[in-house]
Amino acid sequence: MKIFLDTANYGLIELWAQTGLIDGVTTNPTHLSKESGDPVALIKKLCALLPNGHISVEVTEVAPERVYTQAKTLAALAENVVVKIPCHSDYFPIIKKLVDEEVQLNITLVFSLMQGVCMSKLGVLYISPFVGRLEDLDVDGVSLLGELSDMLDQYDYETELLAASIRHVRHIHAAIEAGVDIITVPPTVLATALNHPLTDRGMELFAADWKKLGIHTFP
């Protein structure tokens, strides 16, 4: 399973990149609006920082013809840019056209099994179901992950399942159990998932016991 960071903060991404755990980044207009400077320059920096990872960048246009043009421009920024387009029926014709032109696409704002089926049928690179946002409406977003994972296996589509809108550690565990290909996680949630109070307590106990020996150098 791959792990993406769900942020556009270069400093945080750089820190996590040093761990070797991060396989890519997902950004959106909200993420980019929180960062200073030119967003295009930032995207290029992220692509250079993770040359072997995918950097998802979302379109900001609304009209289909303008979305198509912007998607082509974004894809040309770097080979590892993946263009995010919302899963809306107005965009299906241009999504097909972009796939035919070998533009890497991450279809975002996926909330149903049928949306996932149709986008996988078109041959997009990623589909991104939003777990947390479904749960905001008291809908079981975790179940959707399992349904989409089973669907991709059943029909042998090449599209990869990218679990998004991950709000807490339970979502991460559920995504792993569902067999998703990728999870994209905010840095704070990922840090919480990778730490455990019993690990901290164990380290403290070992350090205290070793200190009792009074040995100042070892080995």
Domain ranges of the chain: 2-211
Q: How far apart are CA 4 and CA 17, in angstroms?
A: 10
Q: What percent of the chain has pLDDT over 70?
A: 100
Given a cut of 90, whether residue 219 has pLDDT beyond it is: no
Q: How far is CA 56 from CA 27, 47, 134, 136, 160, in A?
A: 6, 10, 21, 24, 14
Given a cut of 90, whether residue 107 has pLDDT beyond it is: yes
Structure-token match 């903060």, residue found: 9
Tell me which H or E stretch contains 153. helix 141-155
Return phi, psi of residue 103, to 5°. Answer: -85, 130
Cβ atoms < 10 Å from Cβ of 30: 9
Active site residue 96: no
CATH architecture of the domain 2-211 equals: Alpha-Beta Barrel (3.20)
Q: What percent of the chain has pLDDT over 90?
A: 97
Reported confidence tier of residue 206, pLDDT bands at 50, 70, 90: very high
Given a cut of 90, whether residue 197 has pLDDT beyond it is: yes
Given a cut of 90, whether residue 93 has pLDDT beyond it is: yes
Active-site residue, from 84, 97, 121, 211:
84
Q: How far is CA 138 from CA 76, 101, 131, 132, in A?
A: 39, 39, 11, 10
Tens of pLDDT, residues 29-69? 999 999 999 999 999 999 999 999 999 999 999 999 999 99
Q: Quick one: which of 134, 137, 124 has its CA closest to 91? A: 124
- pLDDT score for 217: 86
